[in-house]
A and B are shown apart, each in its own frame.
Chain A
Amino acid sequence: MVSPTNPVNQYLRTDRMPHIWCSGCGLGTTVNCFVRAVEGCGFPLDRISVVSGIGCTGRVAGYLKLDSFHTTHGRPIPFATGLKLANPNLKVVVYSGDGDLFAIGGNHFIHAARRNMDLTIICVNNFTYGMTGGQVTPTTPIDAIASTSPYGNVEEPFNLPHLAESAGAVYVARWTTFHVRQVTKAMKEAIQKKGFSFVEIIAPCPTLYGRRNRLGDGLEMMQYYKENSVIKNGADPREVGLGFKGKITCGKFVDRERPSFLDQYNTKMTERLGSSFKPYKGVL
């Protein structure tokens, strides 16, 4: 008897399975959504590159059967910036976690957004550093327990959509791993959007964040997302911050037009240098 093949297998490095993620982790769900988004986005697979930093989400690059780069902690965005500028024909996606992108890599995020670098940033936000055992991150809600905030987090977390919007992102959406169709659609829109696009996906880490905070197992955390998500497309990003055990505002918050870095570069250089300037289309 021939066993049925998962239709997403062709996009995965199946020779690397089983993956390292815990049972109940939301990462696999996001990858499933991602390959379906890629499948429908209209870009040939050979032209899509995925760049990850370090951490549980950082491992995504290694499981996707695309040109994929597992770089250093916090630095996938500047790596992606160089890759995109060397070959603007590539669609470059940065896939990383909340600690990687917003603690050690926070500066790169805001500057790439400010430049409107043509990149898609997918942040799987599980509120914790999973790979190193569940430490507090810049998105951990106040009062949540982490191994380095054993009496509850005392720091105000980042509201990621607000940060992205104020730094200049042209597309900003947030969903949870419960919203698989919306996640897939948001990823697809983000990939198709020219400029700096950002998708935040709230994901369960039952092993570390969930267990320490008595949020239950993976299934119970998904149940929580189902019951506590409020869909508000077009919501003011200032008002979508997340509290501990609070409501989760989901939706597409920003979808606007702004010249991308390269468009702006070519326009301005042509204005300044005239016909002696040949618009830049990559190094090759």
Chain B
Amino acid sequence: MKADPRGVLTGAHFLDGDHACCEGAIAAGCRFVAGYPITPSTEVVERIASRFPSVGGMFIQMEDEIASSIAIQGAVWGGAKAMTVTSGPGFSLMMEHIGLAVMLETPCVFVDVQRGGPSTGLPTLPAQADMMQARWGSHGDYEIIAFSPNSPQECFDLTIRAFNMAEEYRVPVMMMMDECVGHMTEKVVIPRPEEIDITERRFTTARPGEYLPYNLDGGIVPPMAKAGDGHRFHVTGLTHDERGYPVMNADAQEKCVHRLVDKIRNNAEDIIRLEESETEDADVVVVSYGITSRVAVKAIEMAKADGIKVGHLRLISVWPFPERRIRELSARVKAFVMPELNYGQMFFELRSAAHGATRSYLVPHGGGTVHDPEVICGKIKEAASQAQSKEVLW
């Protein structure tokens, strides 16, 4: 299926990441957005509010982020593709409804334009400190998908991919942006609608009266229904059986929740997107994502100028974590270096995947600005020189 031409502003534009995210959502077929103003994400919904009336979409500014994060789910069960947009404090309020989307298997997109925290923190300045919250913020055990764009172009491209993955796996998908990428203005090329692949919702073909909301129909992701189609189905945030009915016991829990985890874990290779350069013969591999990856490129150039063999692995998708690739690399590189705008979040996943086979170095930064490339370069050099030891440092 290709994009609806009504929503696609084909051509070259000069857009910031927030606006590019908005255009990506429209191109992806999103026609319902609920949001609440919060810096530095507000530009996304401002543009949505301006654009939606002309493309047949509905934007509503809700009373808070809690309402926004569940209004989108109501809209999805009414047949829409839907998203909400926020930043740290609002993202915190949305956590319960990430769990609801996981449990009901409601395809939807949550955009988090990250700013410094905790609490009100640094509203206008960048951080990458919600990464673990995106993965684990709701209670209970589950898997989600998350992407981390490093440019306005990728804000556009990955928002489309986020919607497509949401439909493919019936899961909430996070766009983990940051203030820098959100407010950075660059060239964004929007393709022609026929060049944009759209994953349509897979609706049930069962006749009314025969549809079971969580009957897998041979796959691992059940086909969906929408309200008003005559199926008279029931869904609940309680642990449920294939009829969607609550069942309160350990067997039902195992059957219900294990599949929610497996449908992502078993398809991780399909979901994961990485960008690699010169990792094949590198002594040190810098692992980065989002805005930090652009600073890392500069640091890598500086280290290479000093004769160090450095490669770069950029996480385009951040969840599920690319464990397999890290494990492969850890068997032959001498060290990983990971800069991130936090005091160690994705780094712990990296270190765990490297599993002691190689050394891992964190370059922490509390946010508010990006790293000084000199600091990352210094850590690359330190890693290259100490790489003989098996001691794991951070």
A interface residues, Cβ below 8 angstroms from B? 13, 15-16, 45-47, 49, 51, 61-62, 65-72, 75, 77-87, 89-90, 107-108, 111, 269, 273, 276-278, 280, 282-284
Contacts and interface: CB of A to CB of B under 8 A. Distances in A.
Contacts of B73: 71, 79, 82
A83 B74 CA distance: 4
Contact of B234 (A13, A79, A82): A13
Given A61-B234, A70-B237, A75-B67, A85 B60 contact: yes
Nearest to B60: A85
B236 A82 contact: no
Contacts of B230: 46
B339 to A, nearest CB: 37
A82 B57 contact: no
Contacts of A67: 227-228, 231-234
Given A78-B70, A107-B64, A276-B54, A87 B227 contact: yes
Interface residues of B, number: 48
- Specify which of B68, B70, B82, B235 lies most central, judged by the most chain A CB atoms within 10 Å of its CB: B70
B71 A78 contact: yes
Nearest to A110: B63
Interface string B239-259: 000010110000000000000
A283 B235 contact: no
Contacts of B243: 15
Contact of A280 (B56, B71, B233, B238): B56
Given A72-B100, A276-B54, A277-B54, A86 B70 contact: no
A280 B229 CA distance: 20
A61 B79 CA distance: 20
30 contacts: A13-B234, A15-B245, A46-B208, A51-B74, A66-B232, A67-B234, A69-B74, A69-B234, A70-B237, A71-B73, A71-B237, A78-B66, A78-B71, A81-B67, A82-B70, A82-B72, A82-B73, A85-B32, A85-B58, A85-B75, A86-B76, A86-B77, A86-B79, A107-B64, A107-B67, A273-B54, A276-B54, A280-B58, A283-B32, A284-B80
A277 B79 contact: no
Contacts of A276: 54
B246 to A, nearest CB: 7
Interface string B349-371: 00000000000000000000000
Contacts of B34: 78, 81-82
Given A79-B74, A83-B78, A83-B227, A68 B32 contact: no
